[in-house]
Copies of this chain bind each other. A is one copy, B any other.
Amino acid sequence: MAEVRNKQVVLKNYVVGFPKESDMNIVVGTITLNVPQGSSDMLVKNLYLSCDPYMRLLMTKEENPSLGVVTYTPHSPLTGHGVSQVVESGNPDYEKGDLVYAMTKWEEYSLIPSSQIRFKIEHTDVPLSYYIGILGMPGITAYTGFFELGSPKKRENVYVSAASGAVGHLVGQFAKLSGCYVVGSAGSKEKVDLLKNKLGFDEAFNYKEEQDLNAILKRYFPEGIDIYFENVGGKALDAVLPNMRLHGRIPVCGMVSQYNLAQPEGVTNLAHLIFKRVKMEGFIVTDFCHLFPKFLEFVLPLVREGKVVYLEDIVEGLENAPAALVGLFNGRNVGKQVVDVGHH
């Protein structure tokens, strides 16, 4: 049995407020590169790890067990989506060398249950890292939220917050492909330029420079918003509600502006849901995993033909993973934040 070094990113302790690099530790342990006799587990080498905003929610001790959320455990590695390669398989459906998209751990090698594998990667003519992005969870999140919950129609008006993020920049492009008018907001001039000049958004604005979100939404949407793809929550949502159009839809993907607050911002304009007959619906992409084949059929040709621009922000090495994760909450990343574990 080969025992090798295994670098890990572990949670130091439960996080309060904004996460900091110092909330995590890099530790080095060892792992034997095989699957215990009789187990159907998988021993995988992690190639790319995904940084996602929902991970912040798992860094807080959950006081409400009814949520069914399994949070991280201090002194254990974080978990998340990754692209991994099978080193040894306890499951006859996989063999050594297979590439898989799975829920794995923030370490070099992981022993994971086969049930944590989302799918085997069949198409390797596209960069492998895409499978934790446009071809993985963020991609299908954008797809199901926009198409399944948003029910877009040609020429409808779409507003995307956190529009240069992993999900947002795909939603905006899916909306353009659907013949919609699309406006995005982001937190820097550089991101706004990207949205307008590289991603094809009709308009974009820097929310940090706007005193009056309501006024700017009125300017960009004089007839109202048909679909608001909700990524941020709080004040942004409150400004959107009075600007919704009759029978508008709000797929609620995330409320990332609220995850670090002890007391979330109050949303006061919900009565507009009635006035405008708006449907606001939360979703979690794991409910839609059965759509992966249909989704890949939709998105792979777009990627191959360059009809969708995919933005990746890759850091090298597990040492840099804590900073990459923390950066999600201060606007550091542009597009999908990826950790390249290295050594492939």
* A:50-96 near B, CB below 8 Å: 64, 66-67, 69
Bound Cα distance A233, B268 (Å):
10
| Interface contact B282-A287, CB-CB below 8 Å | no
| Interface contact B271-A268, CB-CB below 8 Å | no
User: Hey, what's the 0/1 contact readout for A253-271 against B, CB within 8 Å counting as 1?
Assistant: 1110011000111111111
Q: How far is the CB of A286 from chain B (nearest CB, A)?
A: 10
Q: How far is the CB of A274 from chain B (nearest CB, A)?
A: 4
- The listed residue (B64, B233, B281) touching A280 by CB distance below 8 A is B281
* A:70-129 near B, CB below 8 Å: none
Q: How far is the CB of A237 from chain B (nearest CB, A)?
A: 7
| Interface contact B64-A242, CB-CB below 8 Å | yes
Please tell me if A276 contacts chain B, counting CB pairs below 8 Å. Answer: yes
Bound Cα distance A36, B281 (Å):
50
| Interface contact B264-A273, CB-CB below 8 Å | no
| Interface contact A287-B280, CB-CB below 8 Å | no
**A279 to chain B: which residues have CB within 8 Å?**
279-282
Bound Cα distance A237, B289 (Å):
31
- The listed residue (B254, B259, B266) touching A266 by CB distance below 8 A is B266
| Interface contact B265-A233, CB-CB below 8 Å | no
Please tell me if A224 contacts chain B, counting CB pairs below 8 Å. Answer: yes
Instruction: Please classify how large the interface on chain A is, using the bins under 10, 10 to 19, 20 to 34, 35 or more.
Output: 35 or more
Bound Cα distance A246, B50 (Å):
26
Tell me the nearest residue of chain B to A245, going by C-beta: B66
| Interface contact A271-B255, CB-CB below 8 Å | yes
Please tell me if A278 contacts chain B, counting CB pairs below 8 Å. Answer: yes
**A263 to chain B: which residues have CB within 8 Å?**
268
Tell me the nearest residue of chain B to A256, going by C-beta: B271
Q: How far is the CB of A247 from chain B (nearest CB, A)?
A: 9
Please tell me if A18 contacts chain B, counting CB pairs below 8 Å. Answer: no
Bound Cα distance A278, B279 (Å):
10
Please tell me if A298 contacts chain B, counting CB pairs below 8 Å. Answer: no
Which of A67, A268, A270 has the most chain B CB within a 10 Å cutoff? A270
Please tell me if A170 contacts chain B, counting CB pairs below 8 Å. Answer: no
**A275 to chain B: which residues have CB within 8 Å?**
67, 69, 282, 284
Q: How far is the CB of A257 from chain B (nearest CB, A)?
A: 10
| Interface contact B274-A284, CB-CB below 8 Å | yes
- The listed residue (B66, B69, B287) touching A277 by CB distance below 8 A is B287
Bound Cα distance A151, B281 (Å):
15
| Interface contact B273-A252, CB-CB below 8 Å | yes
Tell me the nearest residue of chain B to A268, going by C-beta: B264
